[in-house]
Amino acid sequence: QSEFVHIRLSMVGDVVLIELITKDIQGPKLAQELGTELAQVSAQEWAKRLLLDFHMVTYLSSTGFAVLFRVVSQGNAKGQEIKFCSMGPAVELGADIVGLNKVIEIHQTQEAALKAFSKA
């Protein structure tokens, strides 16, 4: 797990908590690296429920959002349950603009997102 640069993993019950730890995700190279790391996690057999936590991210570029859409669509295809949480104002605004909130649940807090999983 220490080979990851942009994310930190932990388990909360049966939910894989993926914290994005790179503050400023700008440009194709960073976005691609992030995408590769997220894909490695979501490829795992045990990764059925994923929660991406954005509390450390201050900026996410359009290429970064494209990566998130890919993660969501691949996850949906595999029957994974994916939610996002804790987006700062700038990231949330970007998510609204690109329509990310139409394809995935975005919760204000990690706690709210985890509760939403347990209902499922």
Q: What is the pLDDT of residues 57-84, one digit of tens each?
A: 999 999 999 999 999 999 999 999 999 9
What's the pLDDT score for residue 1? 46
Helix/strand/coil percent split, the chain, to 5 = 45, 25, 30
27-64 residue pLDDT tens: 999 999 999 999 999 999 999 999 999 999 999 999 99
- Per-chain mean pLDDT for the chain: 94
What's the pLDDT score for residue 3? 82
- Greatest alpha-carbon span in the chain: 37
Q: Which residues contact 10 (CB under 8 A, 6 or more apart)?
A: 16, 17, 19
Parallel, antiparallel or unpaired: strands 59-60 and 7-12? unpaired
- Identify the band that residue 2 occupies on the pLDDT scale cut at 50, 70 and 90: low
What is the mean pLDDT of the segment spanning 87-94? 96
Q: Which residues contact 47 (CB under 8 A, 6 or more apart)?
A: 16, 41, 80
Q: What percent of the chain has pLDDT over 90?
A: 95
Q: Which residues contact 8 (CB under 8 A, 6 or more apart)?
A: 18, 19, 21
Parallel, antiparallel or unpaired: strands 15-20 and 49-53? parallel
